[in-house]
Amino acid sequence: MNRADFPIFKGQPDLVYLDSANTTLKPRTVIDAVRRYYEDYSANVGRATYDLAERATAQYESTRNLVADFIGANPDEIIFTHSASYAINFAVFGLKKFLHAGDVILLTEYEHNSNIIAWQKVAAETGAEIVYLPSSRAQRGNLDRLLRSARNGKKIKTFSYSLISNITGELFDHRELSAWIRARGGLVLVDATQAVGRMSVDVNELNCDFLVFSSHKIYGPSGVGVLCARSNAQTKLEPIIYGSQTFTSILPQTTELSHDYSRFEPGTPNIEGVIGLGAAIEYVNSVIATHDQDLTQYAIEKLEQNDLKKYLIGEPQVGILSLNHPTIHPHDFAMLLNQKNIAVRAGKACGDILMQKLGLNRGVVRISFGIYTTKTDIDKFIAEYQNAIGRLT
């Protein structure tokens, strides 16, 4: 499905690419959009009145509108950054004045390292405390008990979680918990990096204040991230980087910052990357939304048929599965799979806290799907995974 749209397969028709949770391949429409910018209207945005610059600005801002429509937000709530990690840092450190000693920062054990380290740093600087929701479904079941435990008489000021785990592929519904926290003055950040290219995402349905994702995981160029900061939350957010295009007036001793999203976008942005993201969103909007879910179910069935499901971690739902063999190192699997032109992720996959909780110190073999992934790709992976077990045991 859709493989013909991706030029990389023209040169490598036998490639089995199962690392889309790491980064996605790029369709021709995205490559062409970036190329056209360089060839036809390569100019800066928002600071000139000649035709090239006006066209570049129009294309750049059209992506802001596309992103907003894509996630159910308003265009003035969309802030472009350099990556999802940058977007998280913009939100975390921008909220530093919102956090105080004794406040609770609520995370989950499923978080990507980028959604942990920044919170650890700001907690150390403010005296706030980090509390983790556990990885066990049984432990997560009693919401009231979890809230009492997490609060411990203190106020939960922020809750930050991944919509889809980048390790297990599980989809998390924390809308009830988010509503509880927001009703008491807390703020909620959703890391939708693994979700936006795999399912419909709407900030209103998620009941969140911030949402982040990256371009390169939704078939767009690298070097672009999105921070959606809802209007009510933007008033609590302080810029952490300053520069041109962020102010309404500047004097020798003082500067009046803009009152809209532009105060968070200093300097010349990654123009071609943002334009490419716009093309990527248009492309994703044109494909079947259930592709990853269908392939996930197929992969689970095939693993079970081949007596490999016992190595599966968690309960995958959307496009990501991880396997742990008790005696074979993940990197050994990855090396042998690479010899068959099968690309997978091996190791801790930026999920160190979850790996520690699960006792998986060597990590996992992770496979993840894109809209170019086929059932044949999964069949080849399973066959070669089995062959690797035979060679390595």
User: Over the stretch 179-195, which tens digit does the pLDDT of each residue have?
Assistant: 989 998 999 999 999 99
Q: pLDDT, tens digit, for every residue of 37-91?
A: 999 999 999 888 899 999 999 999 999 999 999 999 999 999 999 999 999 999 9
The domain ranges of the chain are 3-27+289-392, 29-284
Contact 274, 29 (CB under 8 A): no
Q: How far apart are CA 260 and CA 267, in angstroms?
A: 16
| Mean residue pLDDT across the chain | 92
pLDDT at 152 > cutoff 70: no
Going from the C-alpha of 188 to that of each of 91, 123, 143, 160, 278, the distances in angstroms are 10, 16, 17, 6, 26
Count Cβ atoms within 10 A of the Cβ of residue 327 and give its class: 0-12 exposed, 13-18 middle, 19 or more buried.
exposed
Report, as an integer, the average pLDDT of 282-302: 89
Tokens of 341: 């032109």
Read off the pLDDT of each residue in 127-146 and give the average, rounded to a whole number: 70
Tallying the residues shown for the chain, one arrives at: 393
Find the range with the poorest average confidence among 9-23, 106-120, 161-175, 236-250: 236-250
Highest mean pLDDT among 251-260, 286-295, 326-335: 326-335
In this prediction, residue 147 has a pLDDT band, given cuts at 50, 70 and 90, of: low
Instruction: Please determine, for residue 140, whether its predicted confidence score (pLDDT) is greater than 80.
Output: no
**Which residues, in sequence order, are CB contacts of 314 under 8 Å at separation 6+?**
165, 167, 168, 169, 170, 322
CATH of domain 3-27+289-392: 3.90.1150.10
Topology of domain 29-284, CATH: Aspartate Aminotransferase; domain 2 (3.40.640)
Band (pLDDT 50/70/90 cuts) for residue 17 is very high
| Residue 378: pLDDT over 90 | yes
d(C-alpha 73, C-alpha 313), whole Å: 34
CB 367 within 8 A of CB 385: no
Could you read off the pLDDT of 242-258 as tens digits, one per residue? Answer: 888 878 888 888 888 88
228 catalytic per annotation? no
Local structure of 240: helix, strand or coil: coil
Of these residues, 271, 281, 350, 354, which one is catalytic? Answer: 350
